[in-house]
C-alpha cells in the first residue's frame, strides 16, 4: 500500500494525528468500533459549516450504531478551534467529535484527499472503517456539493446488517423498489447451498425472481 492511497478491503493506514481532542493514533483510537473519517475543504466556509452541523445533529445516531466521527482538513489547529467556537456561539451547536489538523497535508496525501484538478484543498471524502480497521467504503464529493449524512448512516446500517446476516443490501434499502426492506440472499455456490435454498423457498422463508435473485425478510 506504500506510495498510494488505500483501497476498499485494505486496512486503514496506521497514523498519529493532531486533533481538537489531542493526539490520537488511528485506527487504534477506535478499536472495536466503526468510524467515519471525513475531510472538508476548509474551516470558515459555508458548505463545510452546514456539514459539521448536520454531522453533529446525527452524532448520537452514529454512536448508537457503535460508530464514531472524526473530521479532517489541512487547516491549523487554532483555525479549527476558532471555527468550532464560532459554530457554537453563532449557531448554537457544539461540535463534540474530534477534528484533525493536517496543516502539512501528510494525512491528506496518504489518503488521496487532494485532487489537483479541484484545487489544493481537500475534497469532501468519506472513509467508513469497520471495527477491525478495514476500509469498507470510500466516497468523494467535489467542494461545491455537500454530503447527505442520512446516506452515510444508511450505509453504516447496511454494512452492519449485511455482516450480521450474511446477506447483501439492495438499492435504496430499506425502501427498495422491488423488495422493500427485504435483503438479498447470496446466490447458491454449492449443491448443499442450492438444496438449502430450495428448502427455504418451500417453507416460505425465501422468495425468488429467479435462482440467482432471491431475497428474504430479516
Q: What is the residue extent of each domain of the chain?
A: 15-147, 166-218
Domain 166-218: CATH class, spelled out: alpha beta
User: The cell 474530534 sits on which residue?
Assistant: 98
Digit-by-digit pLDDT tens for the chain (218 residues) are 445 789 999 999 999 999 999 999 999 999 999 999 999 999 999 999 999 999 999 999 999 999 999 999 999 999 999 999 999 999 999 999 999 999 888 999 999 888 888 877 888 999 999 999 999 999 999 888 999 999 999 999 999 999 999 999 999 999 999 999 999 998 888 888 878 888 888 888 899 998 889 999 99
Fold of 15-147: Glutaredoxin (3.40.30)
CA distance 4 to 136: 17
Q: Is the pTM of this model over 0.85?
A: yes
Q: Taking the CB of residue 18, how many other CB atoms lie within 10 A of it? A: 18
Which residues are catalytic, by number?
Answer: 48
Say how many Å lie between the first and final Cα of the chain, rounded.
37
> 40 and 51 in contact (C-beta within 8 Å)?
yes
Amino acid at each position: 500500500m506504500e506510495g498510494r492511497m488505500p483501497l476498499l478491503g485494505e486496512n486503514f493506514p496506521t497514523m498519529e494525528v493532531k486533533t481538537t481532542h489531542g493526539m490520537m493514533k488511528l485506527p487504534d483510537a477506535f478499536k472495536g468500533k466503526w468510524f467515519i473519517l471525513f475531510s472538508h475543504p476548509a474551516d470558515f466556509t459555508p458548505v463545510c459549516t452546514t456539514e459539521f452541523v448536520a454531522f453533529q445533529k446525527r452524532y448520537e445516531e452514529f454512536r448508537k450504531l457503535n460508530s464514531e466521527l472524526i473530521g479532517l482538513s489541512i487547516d491549523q489547529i487554532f483555525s479549527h478551534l476558532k471555527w468550532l467556537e464560532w459554530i457554537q456561539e453563532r449557531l448554537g451547536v457544539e461540535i463534540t467529535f474530534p477534528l484533525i489538523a493536517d496543516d502539512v497535508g501528510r494525512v491528506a496525501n496518504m489518503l488521496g484527499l487532494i485532487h489537483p484538478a479541484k484545487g489544493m484543498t481537500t475534497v469532501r471524502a468519506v472513509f467508513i472503517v469497520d471495527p477491525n480497521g478495514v476500509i469498507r467504503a470510500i466516497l468523494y464529493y467535489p467542494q461545491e456539493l455537500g454530503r447527505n449524512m442520512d446516506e452515510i448512516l444508511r450505509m453504516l446500517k447496511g454494512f452492519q446488517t449485511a455482516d450480521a446476516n450474511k446477506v447483501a443490501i439492495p438499492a435504496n434499502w430499506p425502501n427498495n423498489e422491488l423488495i422493500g426492506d427485504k435483503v438479498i440472499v447470496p446466490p447458491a455456490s454449492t449443491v448443499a447451498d442450492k438444496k438449502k435454498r430450495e428448502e427455504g423457498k418451500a417453507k416460505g422463508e425465501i422468495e425468488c425472481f429467479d435462482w440467482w435473485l432471491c431475497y428474504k425478510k430479516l
